[in-house]
Structure 1
């Protein structure tokens, strides 16, 4: 497998700084599935090219698999040695790991600057044919030149293959080019050589930050990158949608904040949660769906809360919480707070063993068919001594003058429940678990439609 990256930015040999690979050296890297080599076929002030060559042995790969003796001849006679695939994608991420982050201590200004780059892959499969290949890269600003390869040059009657000689040209940051290639190569091949689980969602979101959410083929990209696993694809698209909502809203207030601002509901909500936690004498708290850290900031003001963990599914929210909360703490206080990325739909040992869990205005952002998974994660696996769950009371929406009739309070809300529906849901959890449940109201209580926020307090039975 071969990938070359060229630039005419002058001096062109600055490409060596960006890749952290010196143009005068030929370097080899041992990978789990073969050997990657990086060298420079040309390196002058006017033009520089770096080549990544990946050597793998398909026979060794086939024989190394469990049950290889039952495989057909296709396991040995394959395109693996020469056609770009997820093997090349992994090699890019490992050999050019630092370059992909966009960091370059010696030349950070250069790393942040778009420069003319040309990437060439002589054998790139496209199971969606040429139109799909162009549809992946052209929306990102690339000039795409492709030549479809014959199935066999010696037998032209056999027709064309599903492989292309591809050249991608763009003035772009090198880190962005590498991220695009890392994602798109296995998407084009529509396969991966390794087991795909929820960890791949994190990789996709990290490498797709800033472009995937607005890409016209984001659904197909997500599905193929996650090996067409429906559950993973659905979770990834939900997270991408959440990132879109964050990007569209102001750093100061969300659309929900704007609607609820006249009654200062969010502040009332957070203060009620904090006072409930204090009244129950908890010391270790995990805030699930912590967002930008508004509750975390209040919790840190209470010295009785000794250990606080914030978890959210979106990296952008955690970055904001890092900047606004964690980094502003005095050095001696930073040990009280930890931020982690995670999904409430998957069992996670990191959130187990806490005195209390808070789930504040979170469940309404979940698809209804994912609530069962959330219930198991929280009440069966994490098992905090108490849990506080709040959610909007849809009956109260008629009181918001700036909310159109029939609309929900936030564009990312999948549902908003009546008081009866919420209490039925919470009581069902109590009936199926070792938790008892009490209900509370937050905000002004209207005699007809109740309070704007409803709260369930779950406590584990002794």
Structure 2
């Protein structure tokens, strides 16, 4: 994996070679450092007064990676430890390398030129391969609030076969005027967040490190909840310990919220889980389960003794298998949680006999003429006691400044219901299929426009 950091001369810092002093690496030397799973090479492709670039190349030893269970990450599918992107894609391995190579710069020390430590430099960071989990907008949401100009380019799955589409990676370029310490700290925290894998043990010391390295900017970051959760490997107690330590600092700042708000996706999952827990439901099907976020949230609750994730995309099923760590579950747990490739618009007898079916952010991805087929397969063929459907509220879209009039929230959406349209569809579906229905909002409710997400809860009516 490769990372380059470039400094360009400015009026405040006319000598771009200041970068070499701050990083404590001599421009005329090529240096090689041992890492736990390979080596890191540091060199300067260019070093002049006008522009200086340092390159970091990390060579991962696949044998070391396989032999070190704690460092190979959570690629839990059958051959994950042997077939993975670790030698090529930026990850927590690169973050650890940056810490080892530039630890003094990360701490904000420079004995030879202390005046440079707090000086903003014109910096450009380039990383050719960055994982983004199929969400190419994530790098922008993570780095832009920190003052970076973010440019991403999709990485083709195979340039020789363009019909295969793009891979779950982007080529990332960051540019901005920041201190070197800020740049390194941003990369150190956010590279593992983008990859969503930690290649070392995550314990209380990692929570301490997150507070120390990101405490100044994390509380007010709009994706703070996501960052804390992923950086700390979704360990709730560690996340809460970080929140508790950062909240006092936030509360003293005018205009700051007292606690980071959960992301809309997290709020949807939590709301659906809470709704299911209040119902007499034990067997749940998540149709369109994606990478398995809802199933992951349901698994800790003993109330649910049968969980099935249904997804049409084989790629998403692989992600779900990794997230849920199905290969690491006991035989009993594997009987409780399973995945199935199928479509929401086709009859499938394997979906019968469940108490509840969830369609979370699914219907808007289906062409409108196919909706009756979905209704038939779910409400008539599967015929569960409860159906929960969530979908965007199109009326709320005007509150998103980056969304043009008439534009959908996601390029794969085939439509987005207004409140009136959703009410009409749910009422018609409930009447035709002998269900009762209630509609609620998820998220902050605007008095005129409603909430960002609409949720319908269908309950089968008793026959008389």
Aligned to 1:74, the other structure's residue is in SS state: coil
Cα shift readout 1:121-166 (whole Å, capped 9, x = no counterpart): 1001112612221110111111001101011112212111111100
Bigger radius of gyration, 1 or 2?
1
Deviation at residue 187 of structure 1 after TM alignment: 0.4
* Structure 2 Cα separation of the partners of residues 22 and 246 of structure 1: 43
Cα shift readout 1:144-199 (whole Å, capped 9, x = no counterpart): 01101011112212111111100000100000000000000000101101111111
2:150 to 138, 144, 155: 144
The answer (yes or no) to whether the contact 1:59–1:75 under 8 Å persists in 2 is no
Deviation at residue 60 of structure 1 after TM alignment: 3.0
* Structure 2 Cα separation of the partners of residues 214 and 23 of structure 1: 37
The answer (yes or no) to whether the contact 2:4–2:55 under 8 Å persists in 1 is yes
Aligned 1:16-415 pairs, distance under 5 A: 16-65=20-69, 72-127=78-133, 129-245=135-251
Q: Which residue of 2 aligns with 1:8?
A: 8
* Structure 2 Cα separation of the partners of residues 54 and 36 of structure 1: 4
More helix by share: 1
* Structure 1 Cα separation of the partners of residues 233 and 175 of structure 2: 28
Q: Which moved more, 1:123-132 or 1:84-93?
A: 123-132
Give the TM-score normalised by structure 1. 0.51
The answer (yes or no) to whether the contact 2:22–2:105 under 8 Å persists in 1 is yes
* Structure 2 Cα separation of the partners of residues 167 and 71 of structure 1: 31
* Structure 2 Cα separation of the partners of residues 63 and 98 of structure 1: 30
* Structure 2 Cα separation of the partners of residues 101 and 231 of structure 1: 27
The answer (yes or no) to whether the contact 1:40–1:50 under 8 Å persists in 2 is yes
Aligned to 1:83, the other structure's residue is in SS state: coil
The answer (yes or no) to whether the contact 1:128–1:188 under 8 Å persists in 2 is no
Deviation at residue 235 of structure 1 after TM alignment: 1.5
* Structure 2 Cα separation of the partners of residues 65 and 215 of structure 1: 33
Q: Which residue of 2 aligns with 1:277?
A: none
**Distance of aligned partners of 1:192 and 1:64 in 2 relative to their CA distance in 1, 3 Å threshold:** closer
Aligned to 1:49, the other structure's residue is in SS state: strand
Deviation at residue 246 of structure 1 after TM alignment: 5.1
Deviation at residue 73 of structure 1 after TM alignment: 2.7
Q: CA RMSD in A?
A: 1.9
* Structure 2 Cα separation of the partners of residues 215 and 74 of structure 1: 33
* Structure 2 Cα separation of the partners of residues 190 and 71 of structure 1: 16
The answer (yes or no) to whether the contact 2:5–2:54 under 8 Å persists in 1 is yes
The answer (yes or no) to whether the contact 1:219–1:237 under 8 Å persists in 2 is no
Aligned 1:432-447 pairs, distance under 5 A: none
* Structure 2 Cα separation of the partners of residues 115 and 77 of structure 1: 39
Matched length: 247
Q: Which runs of 5+ in 1 are unaligned?
A: 250-462
Cα shift readout 1:333-391 (whole Å, capped 9, x = no counterpart): xxxxxxxxxxxxxxxxxxxxxxxxxxxxxxxxxxxxxxxxxxxxxxxxxxxxxxxxxxx
* Structure 1 Cα separation of the partners of residues 193 and 117 of structure 2: 26
* Structure 2 Cα separation of the partners of residues 11 and 132 of structure 1: 34
Q: Which residue of 2 aligns with 1:282?
A: none
The answer (yes or no) to whether the contact 1:85–1:186 under 8 Å persists in 2 is yes
The answer (yes or no) to whether the contact 2:134–2:169 under 8 Å persists in 1 is no
Deviation at residue 206 of structure 1 after TM alignment: 0.9
